[in-house]
């Protein structure tokens, strides 16, 4: 058997290579549990930071699954440059096929001397169709839950009314100050005048994406990456970067400067955005965790919940690749 392949009952797993780019991208576009973040033009913008070890699984030479991943030592990670990950499946994939895919994938990794697969799942709000096969198989594989984050989402089919006096005052303050929300790909002012200074002052950190990186990504995915800025008298005071998928509008970055805080910039902005994105199934404010999920930023969480956001979980698992043998006899 070719050391770079593993065949299990007509299912073959192999490592991704550049020649697979077109088939990978086409598969992701039609998958039931994927977003544009899994496109190679998104994943590969920071290829210098990670050793890519993405996998493709075939059934009788037809591509049936992909796993965005990178390797570190003897551990394979759901790609650490992405907010979420998981095994990407085709719309028509059945449970039994998923079972065979997982078995082939873990057998391949064991053969390659990869001892552990660290898998972060795609939150279910991003699924186009039910896709919980992996959840059940993780149970059978005795996978260990190693981290859980919480994110706050508004379900647009059942929107909770904003009843926080602080939020309502902030919205009125924004109206009184004649703030304006402008949509466009203008990242420079937000990054240089709001986001980066704010993160440095409060957390002594930088954004995950540099100005050059987010500009590049937006040029590649103009329909998915949007920038909304808030202005007072043509001076930027707040903003947010939105990642749009088929079901979700996700606030990737949220920030306001001192004037924005004084004039209700973020309250005014998100009151507008919730109306703007009422056509999406979910509006996702993002996680409120720190310390690898062990701590919750209470103030941040309360702010998101005051807009009607409610909690869903974002799970991270650790799987011993040798445990693929636990799947040998699961069917009656």
Domains 5-148+315-327 and 158-280 share a fold: yes
The span from the first CA to the last CA of the chain, in angstroms, equals 30
Does the pLDDT value for residue 6 go beyond 60? no
Place of tokens 């304006």: 180
- In whole angstroms, what separates CA 30 from the centre of its chain? 17
> For a pLDDT cut of 70, what percent of the chain falls above it?
97
State residue 47's pLDDT score. 85
Does the pLDDT value for residue 140 go beyond 60? yes
Cα separation values, 89 from 207, 232, 284, Å: 31, 46, 23
Sheet holding 11-15, edge to edge: 5-8, 11-15, 55-59, 62-67, 88-89
- Rounded CA-CA distance 273/2 in Å is 52
Q: What 8-state DSSP symbol labels residue 201? A: H
**Is beta strand 55-59 parallel, antiparallel or unpaired with respect to 310-320?**
unpaired
**Is beta strand 116-120 parallel, antiparallel or unpaired with respect to 75-78?**
parallel
Bridge partners of 256, per DSSP, are 238
Place of tokens 């078995």: 103
Closest listed residue to residue 225, CA positions, set 216, 238, 212, 234: 216
Whether the CA torsion 235, 241, 245, 250 is positive or negative: it is: negative
- Rounded CA-CA distance 75/73 in Å is 6
Cβ–Cβ < 8 Å for 167, 305: no
Cβ–Cβ < 8 Å for 207, 191: yes
- Rounded CA-CA distance 207/215 in Å is 13
Task: Provide the whole-model pTM.
Answer: 0.93
Q: How large is the average pLDDT for residues 180-204?
A: 91
State residue 3's pLDDT score. 45
Closest listed residue to residue 37, CA positions, set 184, 245, 317: 245
Cβ–Cβ < 8 Å for 204, 161: no
Q: How large is the average pLDDT for residues 34-41?
A: 98
- Rounded CA-CA distance 55/65 in Å is 8
- Rounded CA-CA distance 69/122 in Å is 13
- Give the mean pLDDT of the chain: 94
> Domain 5-148+315-327 has what CATH class?
alpha beta
How long, in residues, is the chain? 332
* Fold of domain 158-280: Aminopeptidase (3.40.630)
pLDDT bracket for residue 257 (50, 70, 90)? very high
pLDDT digits (tens, 9 = 90+) for 260-315: 999 999 999 999 999 999 999 999 999 999 999 999 999 999 999 999 999 999 99
The domain locations on the chain are 5-148+315-327, 158-280
**Residue environment code for 85-107, b if the CB has 16+ CB neighbours within 10 A, otherwise e:** bbbbbbeebeeebbbbbbbbbbb
State residue 202's pLDDT score. 83
- Rounded CA-CA distance 45/212 in Å is 11
Phi and psi, residue 227, nearest 5°: -120, 130
State residue 8's pLDDT score. 59
């Amino acid at each position: 058997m070719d050391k770079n392949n593993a065949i299990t009952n007509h299912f073959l797993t192999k490592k991704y290579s550049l020649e697979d780019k077109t088939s990978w991208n086409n598969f992701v576009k039609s998958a039931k549990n994927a977003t544009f973040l899994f496109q190679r033009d998104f994943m590969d913008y920071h290829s210098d930071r990670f050793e890519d070890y993405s996998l493709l699984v075939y059934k009788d030479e037809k591509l049936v699954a992909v796993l965005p991943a990178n390797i570190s030592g003897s551990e394979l990670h759901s790609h650490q440059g992405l907010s979420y990950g998981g095994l990407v499946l085709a719309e028509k994939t059945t449970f039994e096929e998923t079972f065979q895919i997982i078995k082939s994938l873990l057998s391949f990794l064991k053969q390659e001397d990869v001892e552990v697969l660290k898998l972060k799942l795609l939150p279910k709000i991003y699924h186009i169709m039910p896709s919980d096969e992996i959840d059940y198989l993780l149970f059978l594989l005795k996978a260990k839950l190693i981290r859980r984050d919480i994110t706050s989402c508004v379900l647009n089919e059942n929107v909770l009314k904003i009843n926080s006096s602080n939020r309502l005052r902030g919205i009125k303050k924004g109206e009184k100050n004649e703030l304006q929300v402008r949509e466009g790909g203008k990242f420079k002012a937000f990054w240089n005048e709001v986001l980066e200074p704010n993160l440095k002052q409060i957390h002594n950190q930088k954004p995950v994406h540099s100005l050059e990186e987010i500009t590049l990504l937006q040029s590649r995915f103009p329909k998915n990456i949007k920038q909304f800025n808030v202005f007072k008298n043509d001076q930027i005071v707040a903003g947010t970067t939105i990642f749009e998928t088929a079901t979700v509008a996700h606030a990737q970055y949220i920030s306001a400067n001192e004037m924005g805080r004084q004039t209700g910039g973020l309250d005014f902005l998100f009151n507008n955005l919730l109306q703007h994105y009422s056509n999406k199934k979910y509006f996702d404010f993002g996680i409120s965790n720190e310390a690898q999920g062990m701590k919750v930023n209470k103030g941040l969480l309360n702010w998101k919940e005051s807009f009607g956001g409610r909690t869903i979980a974002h799970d991270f698992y650790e799987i011993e690749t040798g445990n693929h043998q636990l799947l040998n006899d699961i069917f009656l």
